Amino acid sequence: MMLYSPYSHSTNVPALMEVLAVRDARIRELERQVHEFGKKLHLQVGINARQAEEISELQCRLGLDSTNSSKPPSSDGPAKPPAKQWHFLKVFRPFP
């Protein structure tokens, strides 16, 4: 088996041309695939950005109740809000 050498005069030029043609076809196919994946990636980035905005909006809406929005108190549901702590009463206790 003889390895290819640029100095060899007995090189099979048609066989090398065929190898190069196959390689070039494969390169074109891979370039086409890269281009298609690039288009899909660009589309997905846009979809992800829109979904992130929607998630952010929904998270904000999830935290709304009648105390921090224009919703009526009846929309809060049966759970009672936590009782307010009166911290200033602990500080200003009369001496025993």
Question: Count of domains in the chain?
Answer: 1
Domain interval for residue 51 = 13-62
pTM > 0.75: yes or no: no
Both structure tokens of 32 = 């086409």
Cα–Cα distances (Å) from 20 to 13, 27, 33, 48, 50, in that order, read 10, 10, 20, 41, 45
Spatial separation of the C-alpha atoms in residues 14 and 1, rounded to whole Å: 18
pLDDT digits 0-9 by tens, 7-64: 555 568 888 999 999 999 999 999 999 999 999 999 999 999 999 999 999 888 887 7
**Residue 87 forms part of a structural domain:** no
Both structure tokens of 20 = 């190069």
**Residue 73 forms part of a structural domain:** no
**Residue 26 forms part of a structural domain:** yes
CB 29 within 8 A of CB 37: no
